[in-house]
Amino acid sequence: MRLKALLFCLVFLTTLCGAVGESEIDLAPAPPEAPAPQEVPAPTESPAKTPTALSPLSAAPLEQSPPIPLNCAAAMLVEQDSGQVVLEMNPLAARPVASVTKVMTILLALEMLDAGGLSLGDQVSVSKASAGMGGSQMLLDVGERQSVSTLLEGMIVGSANDAAVALAEAMYGSEAACVDRMNARAAELGMTDTHFVNCTGLPADGQYTTARDVAVMSRQMFSHPAYFDFSDTWMDEIDHGDGRITQLVNTNKLIRLYDGCDGGKTGSTKEAGYCVAATASRGGMRLIAVVLGADSGAERFDIAGKMLDHGFANYRRYPVAQTGTKVRGTLPVTGGAKDGVALKLGSDLTLLVSRGDEQRIQLSPALPESLPAPVEAGQRVGSVAVSLDGRTLAEVPVVAAEAVDASGLGSGVKRFWENWLIT
């Protein structure tokens, strides 16, 4: 039996390396049509639908120390899809991040839009509290009515504090209730070193986060396609409906300065320094650069640009496995109606690897010598460890491609009826 299992593992590795492309694709149903513009309903609790979190960020960076100078308090470079951290500096240092805080406010709005609890065309009446916010503003007046779309654009493009509070009130009834949800969502995302006090990022005692947690919530925000409907706008005009026009200018200068940059969130206060969480996409790969506590606005963009340059120049996405890839041969089954069960890969896996390291990826299956019947289709039966230079990078589950019933009187009777009595 051991010899048979060993031969199976050898065949498995050969098949896995050569058959990654075999799979079937299920088409998702078309999304429902957007509802017609309407007044924002009375605030209720957040929609029951729980947004799906992305895979966690990798526990360790691909590079042990930053290969480029990082003249700031903390920094991190992350690949969007895999969550792999390329490099980091002081990733867990708790500190204020100014308006980068709005990433969570924006994320909650995007998730509520997806859940159907909010519509871009909904009209919001501006309260005295939101109109009175300091710092960056859209210059909203008390009683002014603006759409959710306009307020979201104000936050994403112009980092408007009045827009952030107006939208927070529309979503949850008050800024305080919105902050409660911000902290709850942070906990759901595993942001263990973050605490929000307001939804704007204006200086407040007890409000802090880290470069790693900024990367977590930014990555979640960047996973929403609707975000990019606003984020690459350089300039726009806001019509207040009373003859006044406010010009909106994107605070993220990398939109114009860096090739491929199409989003991000800036922030700056005396306490936080100059911060940015910027994203850029090239050649099918999206990277996120987080810079906290730089000495100037220009320097934060320079550092972010250099980190993005390093990532695009030295790394690529490498497809290791694809869900449904068939594994040649069968795994022995004891006490079953069949002697073996066919296997397939249970998930996709695409890794970020240094250019030229693709051939050094090692695949090591961990499979039992046999399985006891019954076996259910889709049942996890083992895994494949993916490693580079002896360091495990990920695991791919291996599942049964079919069901195998247990042998015995029941199975025998069933076969008798099928073979002899059914015409």
Residues annotated catalytic, as ranges: 99, 102, 159
Distance of CA 191 to the CA centre of its chain: 13
DSSP secondary structure, 160-210, as one string: -HHHHHHHHHHHHSSHHHHHHHHHHHHHHTT-TT-B-S-SS----TT-BB-
Nearest to 104 by CA among 233, 173, 198: 198
Crossing angle of helices 161-172/175-188, nearest 10°?
Answer: 80
H/E/C letters for each residue in 135-154? CCCCCCCCCCEEEHHHHHHH
Q: What is the largest CA-CA distance in the chain?
A: 87
Distance between CA atoms of 163 and 200, rounded to whole angstroms?
9
Contact 267, 275 (CB under 8 A): yes
Backbone phi, then psi, for 5, in 5-degree steps?
-65, -40
Q: Helix or strand or coil: residue 19?
A: coil
**Which residue has tokens 């802090």?**
208
Q: How many CA atoms lie within 13 A of 61 on its CB side?
A: 17
Structure letter (DSSP) for residue 60: S
Within 29-126, residue ranges assigned H as helices are 102-115
* Residue 41: cis peptide before it, omega within 30 degrees of 0: no
